[in-house]
């Protein structure tokens, strides 16, 4: 009987070693994912302030506003928005860590009556690890804070988790007369964004940690139960 059960005990030992490797792999994978998110947390152009806030007073860039991009309401500061999808999740609050996909572009008009407008995509994250930002803390251009959190006494409603919104941001709420990288001075910016998840950083981190602990604890428990069953059959 012992000779017949020996292969099963060996399998349990191998499985136990495999579970340890699985736990290590889980930890490594989580760390790698965080590193990827961190790398994309603050793009060098188009969203973060980077010490280059628009110097123009709010609304001064609205004179050349391309309202054709955004068919929704235009607030008094010149920011226009259009909700493509109103999310079913909770409302975004100041201080939330927001995970989102987005695409940023701007449109320039050529010289002459027959010249065509040219749209340039200058920044985007539309797949893979999403952008993560703390909203309402000045880490992004003012147009993003207002476009996501809402403001101006209800003229711009806040977004919900799961929502998709198009924004047309006047230069005074973006990079103003300074511009940034490929973005010309006094340039209005067009954004399409989707909020995937939002919450306080501690709450989000706790969910991921609890998930990791469940995997780490669950595998050894299953293996010990299998070993117990084998020993009882001897």
pLDDT digits (tens, 9 = 90+) for 145-175: 999 999 988 899 999 999 999 999 999 999 9
pLDDT at 116 (0 to 100): 85
29, pLDDT greater than 80: no
DSSP state of 78: S
More reliable by pLDDT, 21 or 210: 210
Report helix, strand or coil for 173: helix
More reliable by pLDDT, 77 or 11: 77
Report helix, strand or coil for 98: strand
pLDDT at 115 (0 to 100): 77
Buried (b) or exposed (e) across 118-127, using 16+ Cβ within 10 A? eeeebbbbee
Buried (b) or exposed (e) across 69-107, using 16+ Cβ within 10 A? bbebebbebbbbbeeeeebeeeebeeebbbbbbbbbbbb
pLDDT at 113 (0 to 100): 76
pLDDT digits (tens, 9 = 90+) for 86-120: 999 999 999 999 999 999 999 998 777 777 889 99
Orientation of helix 2-39 relative to helix 201-233, angle to 10°:
170
pLDDT at 167 (0 to 100): 96
pLDDT at 145 (0 to 100): 96
More reliable by pLDDT, 161 or 225: 161
* Percent of the chain surpassing pLDDT 90: 47
What is the arithmetic mean of pLDDT over 32-51? 40
Angle at CA of residue 124, ends 33 and 170, nearest 5°: 135
Round to whole Å and give the CA distance between 104 and 107: 11
pLDDT at 195 (0 to 100): 98
Round to whole Å and give the CA distance between 139 and 163: 21
Round to whole Å and give the CA distance between 180 and 96: 26
227, pLDDT greater than 90: no
pLDDT at 72 (0 to 100): 79
The contacts of residue 17 (CB under 8 Å, 6+ apart) are: none
The contacts of residue 53 (CB under 8 Å, 6+ apart) are: 141, 142, 175, 176
Report in angstroms the alpha-carbon separations of 136 from 44, 146, 150: 19, 8, 10
15, pLDDT greater than 80: no
Strand residue runs (E) in the chain: 80-85, 97-109, 117-125, 131-134, 164-169, 189-199
Top-ranked range on mean pLDDT: pick from 62-71, 105-114, 125-134: 125-134
More reliable by pLDDT, 38 or 1: 1
197, pLDDT greater than 50: yes
Q: Contact, 222 vs 216, CB < 8 A? A: no
5, pLDDT greater than 60: no
For 44-199, CATH gives: 3.10.50.40
How much is the mean pLDDT over the chain? Answer: 72
Q: Contact, 149 vs 100, CB < 8 A? A: no
pLDDT at 47 (0 to 100): 67
Assign 58 a pLDDT band (cuts: 50, 70, 90).
very low
The contacts of residue 164 (CB under 8 Å, 6+ apart) are: 83, 84, 85, 87, 192, 193, 194, 195
pTM of the model: 0.59
pLDDT at 13 (0 to 100): 42
Distance in angstroms between the alpha carbons of the first and the last residue of the chain: 6
């Amino acid at each position: 009987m012992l000779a017949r059960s020996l292969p099963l005990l060996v399998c349990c030992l191998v499985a136990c070693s495999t579970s340890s490797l699985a736990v290590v792999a889980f930890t490594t994978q989580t760390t790698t994912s965080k590193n990827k998110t961190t790398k994309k947390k603050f793009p060098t152009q188009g969203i973060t302030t980077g010490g280059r806030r628009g110097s123009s007073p709010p609304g001064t860039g609205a004179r050349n506003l391309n309202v054709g991009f955004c068919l929704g309401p235009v607030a008094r500061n010149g920011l226009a928005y259009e909700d493509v999808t109103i999310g079913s999740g909770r409302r975004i609050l100041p201080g939330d860590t927001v995970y989102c996909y987005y695409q940023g572009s701007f449109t320039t008009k050529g010289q002459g009556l027959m010249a065509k407008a040219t749209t340039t995509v200058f920044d985007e994250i539309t797949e893979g690890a999403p952008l993560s930002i703390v909203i309402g803390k000045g880490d992004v251009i003012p147009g993003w804070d207002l476009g996501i959190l809402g403001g101006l006494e209800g003229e711009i409603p806040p977004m919900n988790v799961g929502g998709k919104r198009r924004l047309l941001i006047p230069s005074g709420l973006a990079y103003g007369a300074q511009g940034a990288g490929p973005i010309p001075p006094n340039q209005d910016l067009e954004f399409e964004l989707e909020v995937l998840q939002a919450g306080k950083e501690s709450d989000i981190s706790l969910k991921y940690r609890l998930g990791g602990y469940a995997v780490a604890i669950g595998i050894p428990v299953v293996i010990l139960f299998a070993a117990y069953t084998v020993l009882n059959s001897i």
